[in-house]
């Protein structure tokens, strides 16, 4: 813990993953006095495990596509200009892994403003038969960041407390976390146990495993197919990831089978290209926290008991405008980024800053309260 005599902060952020670190960085840049709290250290959760590819989401038109597209553009700009030493930029080849994805990819190609070109012969010759017969899109610019390095660099100089937040108390207009006090509390705790009675928030943890390897095969660009494969770094390392396991939870007490995860990753990578002389260097594992509707969450949290007491007929499906709900004061949740936490973090942190500093309302589409009415109806 970096000791600090000041226990009163403008903002306390609980959770030092990519969401917490980017928020701490952005709010500090805006002149606020920020404390960052984590039970295990910086980038110790899902963020420390991430391959941290800054890639566009291939999806058809809709709200999700618009948010992801804006977030992707903002993230590329953010990491390449603010943290270039932790950001590797290379072209990105996305290969469809199913007929449904091929359909989405062909639509995406027609509509995207992102620069893309034809595959050159050298790259084609690297791919195996399955991959070379699929629909592809080859973007001129992609990026991958050093997940742990960038998180640490962002919070350099910011007060950090190694502390498990257990009870969140609100007294005299201030939130209290251990010995710390603040007006604004931000919860960015990923897929970890919720700290408030907010069962309506639709989140689930999706376990992921990635590996770093050495291989004599040189990878010239970012590859996304059945798994993602990074370009060969200056140090000669290639990252492969990640698995998506909705059944395993580290909170179950069950042991995770690392060997099986490695085998799965290498099998999936072999569907894209042949990797020669592989030596596994490191394993990284963690939980991504995905929202039930795939949109990220940024906004105030509804106090469910107080709101149900005020509007008991919500239990019978009464329509109540969300501005009438009772919210926990000055408390913002940032979560639900699924497999796109590094893409979304600069976008979410910018809007968090606009809400706290400039008092600009966060787009209600991101609000965690969107899950509340349906949950309330099930409480009858
Ligand atoms: C294997 C893998 C690969 C991925 N690859 C990519 C990728 O290529 N690109 C991409 O954009 N995203 C990727 N992701 C997703 C991305 O990592 C997540 O979306 C992101 O990590 C979410 O960040 P977060 O800050 O919300 O949560 P986390 O990183 O999980 O951070 C939450 C933090 O909260 C702390 N915490 C929880 N409860 C408490 C408490 N009570 N008190 C104090 N501290 C607490 C935890 O210790 C943890 O450090 C990947 C994820 C995984 C697992």
Pair (217, 325) in one structural domain: no
In a domain, 369, yes or no: yes
CA distance 87 to 90: 10
* Shared-domain flag, residues 194 and 214: no
Same domain, 337 and 372: yes
* One domain for residues 302 and 279: no
How far is C-alpha 260 from the chain's CA centre?
A: 25
Q: Give the CATH number for residue 303.
A: 3.50.50.60
- Distance CA(16)–CA(23), nearest Å, equals 9
DSSP 314: G
196 and 219 part of one domain? no
255, 290, 325 - which closes a domain: 290
pLDDT tens readout for residues 89-142? 999 999 999 999 999 999 999 999 999 999 989 999 999 998 999 999 999 999
> Hey, whose CA ends up nearest to atom 26 of ligand 1?
190
Q: What is the pLDDT along the chain (380 residues), one digit of tens a residue?
A: 445 555 999 999 999 999 999 999 999 999 999 999 999 999 999 999 999 999 999 988 889 999 999 999 999 999 999 999 999 999 999 999 999 999 999 999 999 999 999 998 999 999 999 899 999 999 999 999 999 999 999 999 999 999 999 989 999 999 999 999 999 999 999 999 999 999 999 899 999 999 999 999 999 999 999 999 999 999 999 999 999 999 999 999 999 999 999 999 999 999 999 999 999 999 999 999 999 999 999 999 999 999 999 999 999 999 999 999 999 999 999 999 999 999 999 999 999 999 999 999 999 999 999 999 999 999 97
Domain finish residue from 269, 290, 311: 290
Sign of CA dihedral 208, 55, 148, 7: negative
User: What CA–CA distances, in Å, run from 320 to 165, 167, 362?
Assistant: 33, 30, 19
Same domain, 371 and 229: no
Question: Domain containing 280: what range?
Answer: 204-290
Q: How far is CA 324 from the centre of its chain?
A: 30
Ligand 1: does its nearest atom lie under 6 Å from the Cβ of 288?
yes
Phi-psi region of 93 (alpha: psi -120 to 50; beta: other; left: phi over 0): beta
DSSP string, 259-298: HHHHHHHHHHHHTTBPPPS-EEEEEEEEEEEEETTS--EE
CATH number at residue 274: 3.30.9.10
Residue 344 CA, closest ligand 1 atom number:
11
Co-location of 210 and 327 in the same domain: no
Asked if residue 106 belongs to a domain, the reply is: no
Of 191, 287, 281, nearest to 230 (Cα)?
Answer: 281
Count the domains in the chain. Answer: 2
The reply to whether 112 falls in a domain is no
Does 242 sit in the ligand 1 pocket, CB within 6 Å? Answer: yes
Strand 238-241 to 203-214 pairing: antiparallel
Q: Does residue 284 share a domain with residue 309?
A: no
| Residue 51, ligand 1, Cβ within 6 A | yes
Q: Are 12 and 182 in contact (CB under 8 A)?
A: yes
- Tell whether 360 and 327 lie within a shared domain: yes
Q: Are residues 182 and 326 in the same domain?
A: yes
Ligand 1, atom 3, lies closest to the CA of 50
Q: What is the pTM (predicted TM-score) of this model?
A: 0.96
Q: CA dist 128 to 131, 133, 215, 266, Å?
A: 6, 9, 17, 14
Confirm if 39 and 162 have CB atoms less than 8 A apart.
Answer: yes
- Looking at 290, 320, 354, which one is the last position of a domain? 290
Residue 219 lies in a domain: yes
């Amino acid at each position: 813990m970096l000791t600090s005599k000041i226990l009163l902060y403008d903002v306390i952020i609980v959770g030092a993953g990519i969401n917490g670190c980017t928020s701490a960085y952005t709010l500090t840049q805006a002149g606020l006095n920020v404390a960052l709290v984590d039970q295990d250290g910086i980038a110790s959760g899902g963020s420390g495990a991430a391959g941290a590819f800054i890639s566009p989401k291939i999806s058809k038109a809709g709200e999700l596509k618009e948010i992801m597209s804006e977030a992707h553009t903002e993230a590329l700009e953010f990491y390449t200009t603010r943290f270039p030493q932790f950001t590797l930029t290379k072209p990105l080849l996305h290969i469809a892994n199913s007929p449904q994805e091929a359909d989405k990819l062909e639509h995406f190609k027609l509509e995207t403003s992102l620069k893309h070109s034809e595959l050159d012969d050298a790259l084609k010759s690297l791919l195996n038969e399955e991959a070379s017969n699929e629909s592809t899109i080859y973007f001129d610019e992609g990026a991958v960041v050093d997940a742990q390095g960038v998180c640490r660099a962002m919070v350099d100089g910011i007060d950090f407390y190694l502390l498990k937040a257990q009870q969140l108390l609100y007294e005299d207009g201030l939130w209290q976390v251990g010995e710390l006090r603040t007006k604004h509390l931000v919860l960015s705790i990923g897929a970890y146990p919720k700290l408030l009675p907010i069962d309506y928030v639709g989140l689930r943890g999706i376990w992921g495993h990635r590996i770093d390897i050495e291989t004599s095969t040189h990878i010239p660009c970012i590859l996304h197919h059945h798994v993602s494969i990074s370009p060969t770094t200056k140090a000669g390392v290639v990252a492969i990831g990640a698995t998506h396991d909705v059944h395993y939870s580290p909170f179950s007490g069950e042991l995770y089978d690392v060997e099986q995860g490695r085998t799965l990753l290498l099998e999936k990578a072999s569907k894209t290209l042949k990797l020669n002389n592989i030596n596994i260097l490191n394993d990284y594992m963690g939980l991504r926290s995905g929202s039930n509707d795939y949109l990220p969450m940024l906004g105030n949290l509804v106090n469910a008991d107080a709101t149900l007491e005020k509007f008991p007929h919500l239990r019978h499906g009464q329509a109540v405008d969300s501005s009438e709900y009772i919210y926990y004061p000055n408390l913002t949740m940032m979560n639900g980024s699924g497999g796109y936490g590094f893409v979304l973090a600069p976008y979410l942190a910018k809007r968090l800053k606009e809400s706290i500093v400039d008092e600009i309302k966060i787009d209600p589409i991101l609000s965690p309260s969107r899950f509340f009415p349906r949950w309330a109806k099930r409480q009858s």
